Amino acid sequence: MAKGFKAKDENGITYLQLPLFRRIRHAFCTRQGEEGPLAALGIPPERLLTLRQVHGAEVLVFEENTKAALTYPLPYDAVITDKKRVALGIWTADCLPILMVDPSKKIIAAVHAGWRGIWRGIVQKAVREMEDAFKSSPADILVGIGPGIGPCCYEVREDVVSLFQNSHDSLHQFILEREGRHYLDLGQAAQLELSKAGVPSDNIEAIPLCTACREDLFFSYRRDKKPGRQLSFIMLR
Ligand SMILES: [Zn+2]
């Protein structure tokens, strides 16, 4: 089902989309900004919901009574909704932005997944919350994993190595060793978490671009050592 990604150009602003998501409005923006892509997809800035991402594993179910979240970003790392005309957005600069849609139940999710989030189970929790709150079946959920730092560049220290090596979740296999240094493959770790949650691998598309390698397209905290993040978003209409 998955079939790569497309780079779109909106007045010189590049953003990425997945054919997998078909007509669901979404974009993985680049360092060139989010205003153009939001406007191109007809999303007013005040309909964009972002989170105060804290590298945790808490999932916000956005409903009418959590409307304040549109104005005041709340401390969560994932958000799910069945509401239309609310764009769920995730800011990243090396961590993975993960967008999900259940086309049969009309549910969307956006997840911020760095090593802490993955280690804490944010990806599985987001899928489980789609099941619990909206009766989604994992077999129906389509997942797009956006650009993050790749195993080419993501060197990790001993503390991260030992957390992953001792994890009960077989995450140790995503620590790679090269010339005495350790590197983490976040994308593969996220895919394992998704498959444990019951999402078929055919339903998953991962954009194979490394934020640290592709300075032309992306901010990278590792590379730049300064703020600057790209937005990824998804919306039901
Ligand atoms: Zn790289």
pLDDT tens per residue across span 6-36:
999 988 999 999 999 999 999 999 999 999 9
Distance between Cα 92 and ligand 1 center (Å): 15
pLDDT, tens digit, 9 for 90 and up, residues 124-153: 999 999 999 999 999 999 999 999 999 999
In a domain, 90, yes or no: yes
Percentage above 90 pLDDT, the chain: 90
* Domain membership of residue 58 as a residue range: 6-148+203-235
Structure tokens at 176: 């790679």
Distance between Cα 149 and ligand 1 center (Å): 6
Distances in whole angstroms, Cα of residue 8 to Cα of each of 12, 25, 30, 36, 88: 9, 13, 11, 11, 20
Distance between Cα 166 and ligand 1 center (Å): 25
Distance between Cα 161 and ligand 1 center (Å): 19
Q: Which amino acid, residue 166?
A: N
Distance between Cα 78 and ligand 1 center (Å): 25
40: domain CATH number is 3.60.140.10
Distance between Cα 152 and ligand 1 center (Å): 4
In a domain, 160, yes or no: no
Confidence of residue 1 (pLDDT cuts 50, 70, 90): low
In a domain, 157, yes or no: no
Rounded Cα distance, 16 and 7, in Å: 5
List the beta bridge partners of residue 175: 184
Distance between Cα 71 and ligand 1 center (Å): 35
Q: Name the domain count of the chain.
A: 1
